């Protein structure tokens, strides 16, 4: 992986953990624009000269007590870090805020998708090794308490 892509991935990761909604960086041969979705969760990356994808969680209410984790990028969905390894989560598992749910591989980069809510994994909607695109539902989480 090129040094530039590693730097962009690190910037996107740091950006996703801030309260900023949008950030733009410009240099002589490089420009990068990061913007969070309307609900403020996750980051997407757009740049005219260079870019790296950012894993994102796009919350969508399915009913009063559940939330759907959707893909913030296109790529290959993986439930575990390597073939044969235990999945990060299974149906029925309790999850915490910030807990890793899966990986999405895009442009030979593995991007973590973390949970935004504490709760229980009710359903895993994507197929391990399957292709997902932006907005593809990945997990249904039954949240603990009021969200």
- Pick the more confident residue, 17 or 95: 95
> Which helix (H) or strand (E) is 11 found in, with range?
helix 3-16
> What band does 14 get if pLDDT is binned at 50, 70 and 90?
confident
pLDDT at 40 over 60: no
Counting Cβ atoms within 10 Å, is residue 137 exposed (0-12), middle (13-18) or buried (19+)?
A: middle
Percent of the chain exceeding pLDDT 70 equals 69
pLDDT at 51 over 70: no
> What band does 25 get if pLDDT is binned at 50, 70 and 90?
confident
Percent of the chain exceeding pLDDT 90 equals 44
Digit-coded pLDDT (tens) for 84-112: 999 999 999 999 999 999 999 988 888 99
Q: For residues 81, 132, 14 and 88, what is the CA-based torsion angle, rounded to 10 degrees? A: -30
The mean pLDDT of the chain is 78
DSSP string, 45-89: EE-SS-------B--EEEETTEEEEEBSS-EEEESSSSTTSPPS-
């Amino acid at each position: 992986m090129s040094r530039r892509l590693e730097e962009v991935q690190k910037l996107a990761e740091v950006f996703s953990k801030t309260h900023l909604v949008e950030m733009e960086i410009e240099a002589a041969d490089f420009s990068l624009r990061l913007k969070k979705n309307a609900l403020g969760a996750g980051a997407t990356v757009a740049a005219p000269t260079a870019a790296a994808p950012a894993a994102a969680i796009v919350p969508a209410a399915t009913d009063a007590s559940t939330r759907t984790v959707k893909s913030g990028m296109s790529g290959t969905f993986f439930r575990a870090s390597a073939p044969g390894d235990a999945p990060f989560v299974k149906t029925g598992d309790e999850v915490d805020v910030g807990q890793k749910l899966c990986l999405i591989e895009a442009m030979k980069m593995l991007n973590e998708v973390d949970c935004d809510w504490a709760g229980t994994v009710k359903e895993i909607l994507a197929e391990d090794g399957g292709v997902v695109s932006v907005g593809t539902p990945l997990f249904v989480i039954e949240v603990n308490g009021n969200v």
